[in-house]
């Protein structure tokens, strides 16, 4: 956590987008391969993961040993439980690339699995583009879906995940200047990565390389909170989504997320992640922050104090004349005392309580202050400090349409990062709120909020 | 929906408290002892207007739907004004189609006070008065002054 950042063994932190500062979220893993009767287990998974120097190095790198076998299950590598990547060329021909221990690196594996080889367990955090309250009633209060603050728990539960169980791995050298590098695919329980017949594969000078089915994408800003414009954008790959291979090569995007033809290799690019880098695992996106980056970010305590001071001003609904209370999480407070919940009129930004005036036939509401028609959305404080950009974190704007508030610099930055979303529709569709992964309105992604 | 019942009568209580604690200069609004939705109002004629020196009594009633619908306001004191008729009814957009629940008793009374300062004969309620105001404003103003002296004495 943030109070331990001064230690030398701190490599950085991975923060899962979409949880607005909740430290843990419930995770239900369906029984794997056991059919419908297999029990699904429920546990809590963390949304922030600190990468620290391990007690002993556990990184693995490709060895010089590689050979072709007919049946990888019976190969010597499998028997000896060595790390290897198998590139399936055909049903009768598989290339085995062995990996060997590397005493200079620590390895962190990320994926949907809760098995031991995975350091960072992630689950789907898909975009929900509707405010919970505006959803049909039968979608709300699903029995058993007790909400522990996870903002995205309204997602329909039965949808196949597109995240790999062993999605990617990060290797960090164990020096005083840790350099984290990302590679597609993680080693499974058998210390094996298997690239199937259909996965894009190619031969390089150093051996076979390949991509995973849904791919691992990277996005880097030139520095935290900064985006590139104009000629700078044309002459660099900053702020562009790129794909990383199993060996850590960087490529341009495929024609669709899981297309069978790879993008172009970008020889000058490397797979190092820096402060502000995003790692997309097709269904979940992680933000990497360095120690320095986090040291310059607000703390949760600061955000709490900022929120407390805004609420201490006792903003009032101009209609009900009741005091409004800005919540830290969207669902928790709204259920308890709905009359305290501030709403933002998204066309004009006026903040009010919920009242019955101004209903329009098309689900819009007329603002009683300026008479403009617009949707109304519950306001909620952006509580994840690692997403904040800039020094003054006083919230002045809200994301449209989810209603998360933060300072302008933060919203401006995130509203300009296009997100790759689905496995099927691949093209970066638009920006999303980092606090809840709601896709932002293309025309006006952010709204200035006006308290009465 | 939510907040329609308890929240909004709470609003009336809050508005009343504020009107009593921080009264507007030149405006008195006292709730009736027996009916908290009925206010006895007295508005001083604004300086520089033909109504200067007079105190005009009004009644203000908050209907059941308030603040979702506008308060009902009527002049009790006779007044010579193009936007106020013989029965004391007031032609003011915020009391009709321009009503918004973001407005309050206070803002309504301020608007009425402003209407006394700036009569609008182009949007009349009393056609005769309005006509007079257009044809011979000096005479209209002097009539208004007369009426003020006669009917709106302190």
B3 in a structural domain: no
Is 60 exceeded by the pLDDT of residue A3? no
Chain A contact for B5 (CB, 8 A cutoff) = no
Kindly list the residues from chain B whose CB atom is less than 8 angstroms away from the CB atom of residue A322.
Answer: 3, 7, 10-11
Q: Rounded to a whole number, what is the distance in Å from the CA of A18 to chain B's nearest CA?
A: 29
C-beta separation of B79 from B151 below 8 A = yes
ipTM passes above 0.90: no
Q: Rounded to a whole number, what is the distance in Å from the CA of A135 to chain B's nearest CA?
A: 16
Kindly list the residues from chain B whose CB atom is less than 8 angstroms away from the CB atom of residue A354.
Answer: 1-3
Is 50 exceeded by the pLDDT of residue A108? yes
Give the pLDDT score at A160.
76
Q: Is the CB of B1 less than 8 angstroms away from the CB of A320?
A: no
Nearest CB to A368; choose among B1, B14, B102: B102
Q: What would the pLDDT profile of A149-203 be if each residue is shown by its tens digit?
A: 334 444 444 467 889 999 999 999 998 788 999 999 999 999 999 998 889 999 9
Mean pLDDT score, A414-428:
73
B1 in a structural domain: no
Cα gap A178→A10, rounded to integer Å: 9
Q: Which chain A residue's Cα is nearest to B68?
A: A357
Mode of pairing for the β-strands spanning A216-219 and A278-280: antiparallel
B89 in a structural domain: yes
List alpha helices for A43-179, DSSP H.
76-79
Mean pLDDT score, A61-71:
91
Instruction: Say what the pTM is.
Output: 0.86
pLDDT-based confidence at A30, cuts 50/70/90?
A: low
**Count of A–B CB contacts within 8 Å?**
51
C-beta separation of A352 from A368 below 8 A = yes
pLDDT-based confidence at A124, cuts 50/70/90?
A: confident
Q: Is the CB of B7 less than 8 angstroms away from the CB of A357?
A: no
Kindly list the residues from chain A whose CB atom is less than 8 angstroms away from the CB atom of residue B65.
Answer: none
Q: Is the CB of B7 less than 8 angstroms away from the CB of A369?
A: no
Question: First vs last Cα of chain A: how many Å apart?
Answer: 37
Question: Which residue segment(s) compose the domain that B69 sits in?
Answer: 10-151
Mean pLDDT score, B105-111:
96
Q: What is the CATH number of the domain that holds B140?
A: 3.10.110.10
pLDDT-based confidence at A45, cuts 50/70/90?
A: confident
Give the pLDDT score at B106.
95
Mean pLDDT score, A218-226:
96
Q: Which chain B residue's Cα is nearest to A318?
A: B102
Higher pLDDT, A360 or B88: B88
pLDDT-based confidence at A5, cuts 50/70/90?
A: low
Kindly list the residues from chain B whose CB atom is less than 8 angstroms away from the CB atom of residue A319.
Answer: 8, 11, 67, 101-102
- pLDDT above 90 as % of chain A: 65
Give the pLDDT score at A182.
98
Q: What would the pLDDT profile of A435-450 be if each residue is shown by its tens digit?
A: 999 999 999 999 999 9
Give the pLDDT score at A257.
86
Is 50 exceeded by the pLDDT of residue A34? no
Least confident of A21-30, A114-123, A394-403, B20-29: A21-30
Least confident of A68-82, A95-109, B87-101: A68-82
Mean pLDDT score, A36-64:
83
Residues of B with a known catalytic role: 91
Q: Rounded to a whole number, what is the distance in Å from the CA of B29 to chain A's nearest CA?
A: 19
pLDDT-based confidence at A76, cuts 50/70/90?
A: confident
Give the pLDDT score at A233.
78
* DSSP code, position A253: P
**What are the C-alpha distances in Å from A95 to residues A77, A90, A191, A203, A448?**
12, 10, 16, 11, 57
Both tokens of residue A192? 């094996």
Nearest CB to A322; choose among B1, B7, B15: B7
Q: What would the pLDDT profile of B28-82 be if each residue is shown by its tens digit?
A: 999 999 999 999 999 999 999 999 999 999 999 999 999 999 999 999 999 999 9
B62-97 core/surface letters (b: 16 or more CB in 10 A; e: else): beeebbbebbbbbbebebbbbbbbeebbbbbeebee
Half-sphere exposure of A398 (CA within 13 A, CB side): 27
pLDDT-based confidence at A421, cuts 50/70/90?
A: low
Least confident of A138-142, A315-319, B99-103: A138-142
Chain A contact for B1 (CB, 8 A cutoff) = yes
Nearest CB to A356; choose among B1, B14, B100: B1
pLDDT-based confidence at A401, cuts 50/70/90?
A: very high
Q: Rounded to a whole number, what is the distance in Å from the CA of A350 to chain B's nearest CA?
A: 11
Is 60 exceeded by the pLDDT of residue A19? yes
Q: Rounded to a whole number, what is the distance in Å from the CA of B119 to chain A's nearest CA?
A: 25
B145 in a structural domain: yes
Total of domains in chain B? 1
Instruction: Please provide the average confidence, as pLDDT, over all residues in chain A.
Output: 85
Instruction: Please provide the average confidence, as pLDDT, over all residues in chain B.
Output: 91
Q: What would the pLDDT profile of A250-298 be if each residue is shown by its tens digit?
A: 999 998 888 999 999 999 999 999 999 999 999 899 999 999 999 999 9
Q: Is the CB of A353 less than 8 angstroms away from the CB of B3?
A: yes
B48 in a structural domain: yes
Q: Is the CB of B68 less than 8 angstroms away from the CB of A368?
A: no
Highest mean pLDDT among A146-160, A221-235, A321-335, B42-56: B42-56
Give the pLDDT score at A148.
35
Is 60 exceeded by the pLDDT of residue A244? yes
- pLDDT above 70 as % of chain B: 94
Cα gap A253→A198, rounded to integer Å: 17
pLDDT-based confidence at A115, cuts 50/70/90?
A: very high
Which residue in this structure is represented by tokens 């006070």? B113
Give the pLDDT score at A44.
87
Q: Report which of A413, A411, A424, A428 is spatially closest to residue A241, judged by C-alpha positions.
A: A428
Give the pLDDT score at A79.
75
Structural domains in chain A, sorted by start: 2-59+103-124+161-295 (2.60.200.20), 300-448 (no CATH)
B119 in a structural domain: yes
Kindly list the residues from chain A whose CB atom is less than 8 angstroms away from the CB atom of residue B7.
Answer: 320, 322, 339, 353, 355
Nearest CB to B7; choose among A318, A320, A452: A320
Give the pLDDT score at A149.
38
pLDDT-based confidence at B123, cuts 50/70/90?
A: confident
Nearest CB to B68; choose among A321, A338, A357: A357
Q: Is the CB of A319 less than 8 angstroms away from the CB of B101?
A: yes
Q: Rounded to a whole number, what is the distance in Å from the CA of A318 to chain B's nearest CA?
A: 5
B5 in a structural domain: no
Q: Burial, A141: exposed, middle or buried (Cβ in 10 Å; 0-12, 13-18, 19+)?
A: exposed
Walk across the sheet containing A397-399 and list its strands: A380-381, A404-406, A397-399, A446-448
List the Cα angle A390/A394/A397 in 5-degree steps. Answer: 90
Cα gap A127→A422, rounded to integer Å: 10
Half-sphere exposure of B27 (CA within 13 A, CB side): 23
pLDDT-based confidence at A337, cuts 50/70/90?
A: low
B70 in a structural domain: yes
Pick among A334, A338, A339, A356 to test the B interface (most B CBs inside 10 A): A356
Give the pLDDT score at A234.
80
């Amino acid at each position: 956590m943030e109070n331990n950042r001064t230690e030398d063994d701190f490599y950085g932190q991975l923060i899962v987008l979409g949880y607005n500062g909740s430290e843990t979220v419930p995770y239900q893993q369906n029984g794997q391969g056991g059919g419908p009767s297999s029990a699904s287990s429920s546990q809590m998974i963390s949304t922030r993961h600190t990468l620290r120097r391990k007690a002993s190095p556990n990184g693995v790198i490709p060895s010089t040993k590689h050979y072709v076998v007919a049946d990888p299950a019976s190969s010597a590598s499998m028997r000896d439980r060595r790390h290897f990547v198998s590139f399936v060329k055909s049903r009768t021909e598989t290339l085995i690339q062995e990996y060997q221990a590397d005493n200079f690196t620590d390895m962190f594996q990320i994926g949907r699995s809760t098995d031991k080889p995975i350091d960072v367990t992630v689950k789907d955090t898909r975009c929900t583009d509707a405010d919970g309250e505006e959803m049909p009633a039968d979608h709300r209060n699903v029995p058993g879906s007790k909400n522990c603050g996870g903002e995205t728990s309204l997602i329909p539960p039965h949808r196949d995940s597109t995240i790999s169980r062993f999605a990617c791995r990060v290797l960090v050298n164990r020096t005083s200047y840790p350099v984290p590098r990302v590679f597609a695919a993680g080693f499974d329980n058998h210390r094996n990565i298997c690239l199937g017949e259909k996965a894009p594969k190619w031969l390089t000078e150093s051996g076979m390389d390949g991509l995973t089915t849904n791919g691992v994408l990277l996005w880097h800003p030139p520095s935290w909170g900064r985006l590139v414009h104009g000629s700078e954008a044309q002459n660099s790959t900053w702020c562009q989504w790129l794909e990383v291979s199993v060996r850590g090569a960087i490529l341009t995007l495929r024609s669709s997320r899981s297309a069978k033809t790879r993008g172009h290799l970008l020889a000058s690019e490397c797979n190092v992640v820096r402060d502000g880098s995003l790692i997309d695992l097709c269904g979940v996106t992680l933000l990497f922050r360095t120690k320095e980056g986090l040291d310059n970010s607000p703390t949760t305590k600061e955000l709490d104090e900022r929120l407390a001071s805004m609420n201490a001003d006792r903003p009032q609904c101009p209609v009900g004349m009741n005091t409004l209370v800005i919540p830290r999480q969207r669902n928790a407070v709204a259920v308890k005392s709905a009359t305290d919940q501030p709403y933002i009129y998204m066309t004009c930004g006026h903040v009010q309580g919920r009242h019955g005036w101004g209903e329009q036939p098309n689900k819009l509401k007329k603002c009683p202050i300026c008479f403009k028609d617009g949707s109304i959305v519950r306001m909620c404080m952006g509580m994840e400090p690692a997403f904040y950009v800039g020094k003054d974190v006083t919230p002045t704007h809200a994301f449209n349409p989810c209603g998360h508030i933060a300072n302008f610099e933060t919203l401006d930055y995130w509203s300009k990062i296009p997100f790759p979303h689905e496995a099927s529709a691949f093209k970066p569709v638009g920006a999303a709120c980092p606090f809840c992964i709601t896709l932002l309105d293309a025309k006006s992604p952010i709204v200035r909020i006006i308290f009465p | 929906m939510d907040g329609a019942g308890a929240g909004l009568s709470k609003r009336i209580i809050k508005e009343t408290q504020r009107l009593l604690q921080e009264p507007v200069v030149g405006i008195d609004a006292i709730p009736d002892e027996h009916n908290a939705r009925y206010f006895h109002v007295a508005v001083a004629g604004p300086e520089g207007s033909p109504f200067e020196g007079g105190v005009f009594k009004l009644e203000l009633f908050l209907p059941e739907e308030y603040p979702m619908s506008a308060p009902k306001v009527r002049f009790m004191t006779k007044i010579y004004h193009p936007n106020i008729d013989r029965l004391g009814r007031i032609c003011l957009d915020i009391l009709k189609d321009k009503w918004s629940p973001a407005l309050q008793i206070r803002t309504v009374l301020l608007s009425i006070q402003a209407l006394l300062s700036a009569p609008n004969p182009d949007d009349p309620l009393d056609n005769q008065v309005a006509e007079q105001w257009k044809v011979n404003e000096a005479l209209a103003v002097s009539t208004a002054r007369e009426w003020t002296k006669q009917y709106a004495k302190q």
